[in-house]
Amino acid sequence: MPQTANKKFFGRAIIVVPCLDEVDFIEDLVTKLDVEAEHLGLRIIVVDGGSTDGSQNVVAKMVQNNPRLILLHNDKTIQSAGINLAVAEFGGDCNYLIRVDAHGHYPDDYCSVLLHEMDRTGADSIVVAMATEGVGVFQKATALAQNSKLGNGGAKHRKGAKGHWTDHGHHAAMRIEAFKQVGGYDESFTHNEDAELDCRLTAAGFRIWMTDQTHMVYFPRSSAWPLFQQYLGYGRGRAKNLLKHRMIPRARQAIPLMVLPVVAVSLLATINWYAVVPAVLWITFCFGYGVWLAVGEGNRYGPLASISAMIMHLAWSTGFWLQLLGLGGRQDVPS
């Protein structure tokens, strides 16, 4: 149930912020978004999936002094269900949904640019490029890996590109009519719910525009195990999406897909040492790329970035195969 049931019309768009244990980010993020919300006449909805770190208390205090801000409790925990809930409760009198993930940083004019792009292009969905930045040593190395082809496979929504029509990208703004027509996010997806929705949007004839007029900055996991869990979920989500829509993995997905089999085969090295060669080649390539980042781009986090990349590769591949083989349970790890 909503923290406040005030459904006064604030404008033509709602800003939805899925949140789970983001006490370090949520106050600053909402404060920043509120500047645009006040100027544009928008409503901000923080959908909390059961935070235990005080995030809900922070938002609840802000709600008391801000009629534009609403706190919704998402009993289903995951982002897909939270956004669906916000649209169902407060999207009826609005044209657009703006999705803002709590674990990130956004330009001051983010919402303004998105709404302008919706009007200018006539798109049904606007997606943006996502760069990663870090604070601590491991986070900086992971950010370097995620910004490189070693970590993102050359995905355009990771590295940025000139504005173009596409079939997928990091979700930023969407016409609520299109969102509702295809059924919103599939709540059986804990990860990759955005790519899955994009499949249904494009199949229904809706158009997705990747803008080069704005972007977001994402802060990656700051230690190895949370990073592994996150990419395990990504791998599961990707496999589930491909199975649902009967798609074939793209080359940039098929290559990391082979990491788990390569590692598994290396366990046979006690029988035949040739079994370890593919794994050694993978490790050598990753470390070589890390050295190139250090020498060629002058980034001292290059060698450590190769370790982060290998964690991501192995976790993604493991998650993919577990989902493909129907092994393991649902991974409710924040994306």
Domain carrying residue 48 = 13-139+151-220
- pLDDT number for residue 2: 35
Residue 81 lies in a domain: yes
- Number of domains present in the structure of the chain: 1
Residue 95 lies in a domain: yes
Residue 334 lies in a domain: no
Residue 94 lies in a domain: yes
Residue 110 lies in a domain: yes
Residue 310 lies in a domain: no
Read off the CATH number of the domain in which 20 is found: 3.90.550.10
What HEC string does the chain produce?
Answer: CECCCCCCCCCCEEEEEEECCCCCCHHHHHHHHHHHHHHHCCEEEEEECCCCCCHHHHHHHHHCCCCCEEEEECCCCCHHHHHHHHHHHHCCCCCEEEECCCCEECCCCHHHHHHHHHHHHCCCEEEEEEEECCCCHHHHHHHHHHHCHHHHCCCHHHHCCCCEEECCCEEEEEEHHHHHHCCCCCCCCCCCHHHHHHHHHHHCCCCEEEEEEEEEEECCCCCHHHHHHHHHHHHHHHHHHHHHHCCCCCHHHHHHHCHHHHHHHHHHHHCCHHHHHHHHHHHHHHHHHHHHHHHHCCCCCHHHHHHHHHHHHHHHHHHHHHHHCCCCCCCCCCC
Residue 17 lies in a domain: yes
Residue 59 lies in a domain: yes
Q: Mean pLDDT, consecutive 10-residue segments, the chain of 335 residues?
A: 36 91 94 95 96 96 96 95 97 94 93 95 96 92 92 68 91 97 96 96 98 93 95 95 90 86 92 93 96 92 96 97 83 50
